[in-house]
Amino acid sequence: MSNGFEARAAGLACPLPIEEEAVVQMAHGGGGRKTAQLIERVFLPAFRSDALEQLGDGAVLTVGNERLAFTTDTFVVQPPFFPGGDIGSLAVHGTANDLAMCGAEPLGFSVGLVLEEGFAIADLRRIVASIAAASARVGAPVVTGDTKVVDRGKGDGIYVNTSAIGRVRAGVTVAPDRAASGDAILVSGPVGDHGIAVMAARNGIALETQLQSDSAPVQLLVRALLEAVPETKVLRDPTRGGLATALCEIAAASRVSMRIDEAAVPVRSEVRGACELLGFDPLYVACEGRFLAIVPAAAVERALAALQALPEGAGARRIGTVTDGDAGRVLLRTRIGSHRRLERLSGEQLPRIC
């Protein structure tokens, strides 16, 4: 892999951003290639362990006869209140959903808060109430926590970390490397709502939309799916990097190819419209209440029936098929019948000039 250091060592007069590896950039947190590089080059070499190297949404640990899933997530969303949710409910849903992607339901949460001096107590109360309501909704209490305050100007109001531990459902083994040729790829509902709702609520962008974030716990849907189809092979929530990046990661982990039918991927028209304006691709916009499921072909109808029976799964669709072929190759059949490869998100999606 070529990088800035190599180029500098060779003394080439190229305009590579040679400081790139020296400092953290926003794209390192974007969930795309740069995040993957940080994990591969900085974290994995230091933390190697079997549970970590699965690179799932959480770790699965065996304790006696019990399989426990453990996960953590930190939330820095700006603004902290957005249409359809806030940083508190998002932090509970995000972590509960990471457990759900391991086939587990939460037993208890930890909540760590980093507060900036000057943050309104009234806003903090709203967020804490939202955390409490969300944890009640997923049926697991907040059992431990921590608070730190930083000087004014050294934080962004509030950052929230949540961790959770949960029990993996008996008879279920889901992991990113289990997809096999012939399996069906399902998505639980329309993609991109969260990313566009947050973008529209941000200062500096005058985008009027009725769109709400899709931030929601998925565990009831996952429970329904796993009851109907315990042989479900892969679950993944397409958060940062969106649907396309999640598909690429699963295809790489399972060493398979995938075929996705663009016309089958549910995207709300508001999301499509906002993406057209901003120059974004909805397949790369974050979701916070959706998941991808890969199930054996024979189980597709059972899976869709189980998902669509719940209101939050009404939009569940089959979007493609796992195939033989180059590991990591995800081919999209466009609405007009041509094909293009989906790649992982590179950097962050930046609004275009014109």
Binding residues (CB under 8 A) for another protein: these are 2-4, 7, 12-20, 23-27, 33-34, 37, 204-206, 269, 272-273, 276, 279, 326, 328-329, 334-343, 346-347, 350-354
Amino acid at position 150, single letter: V
* Cβ proximity of 238 and 334 under 8 Å: no
**Closest distance to another protein from the beta carbon of 261 (Å):** 12
Burial class (CB in 10 A: 0-12, 13-18, 19+), 54: middle
From the CB of 14, what's the least distance to another protein, in Å? 4
Task: Provide the minimum distance between the beta carbon of 209 and another protein in the complex, in angstroms, as a whole number.
Answer: 13
- Of the candidates 106, 93, 98, the one whose C-alpha atom is nearest the C-alpha of residue 143 is 106
d(CA 83, CA 70): 29
Q: Taking the complex as a whole, how short is the minimal distance between the CB of residue 118 and another protein, in angstroms? A: 19
Give CA–CA dist 337/127, Å, rounded.
47
Tokens, residue 188: 């639980």
How far, in Å, CA of 9 to CA of 68, rounded?
Answer: 47
- Give the 3-state secondary structure of residue 285: coil
Closest to another protein by CB, 94 or 328: 328
With respect to another protein, which residue has the nearer C-beta, 48 or 352? 352
Shortest Å, Cβ 250 to another protein: 16
Is the CB of 13 or the CB of 122 nearer to another protein?
Answer: 13
Residue in the structure block whose two tokens are 């039918």: 261
Buried b (16+ CB within 10 A) or exposed e, 247-263: bbbbbbbbebbbbbbbe
Q: Which is nearer to another protein, 148 or 154 (CB)?
A: 154
CA triplet 245, 215, 107: central angle to 5 degrees?
Answer: 95
CB of 27 to another protein, least distance (A): 7
Q: Tokens representing 46? A: 């230091």
In the complex, least distance from residue 82 CB atom to another protein, rounded to whole angstroms: 18
Tell me how far apart the alpha carbons of residues 201 and 245 are, in angstroms, rounded to a whole number: 24
Contact, 99 vs 223, CB < 8 A? no
Give 122 or 354: the residue with its C-beta nearer to another protein.
354
**Distance of CA 48 to CAs 51, 71, 73, 99, 244, Å?**
9, 16, 19, 21, 27
Q: Report in angstroms how near the CB of residue 202 gets to another protein at its nearest.
A: 10
Residue nearer to another protein on the CB measure, 25 or 209: 25
Q: Which is nearer to another protein, 264 or 300 (CB)?
A: 264
Between helices 219-228 and 300-308, what is the axis angle to 10°? 140
- Torsion sign over Cα 320, 325, 331, 335: negative
Nearer to another protein, 145 or 325 (CB): 325
Taking the complex as a whole, the smallest distance from the CB of residue 90 to another protein amounts, in Å, to 23
Of 276 and 301, which has the nearer Cβ to another protein? 276
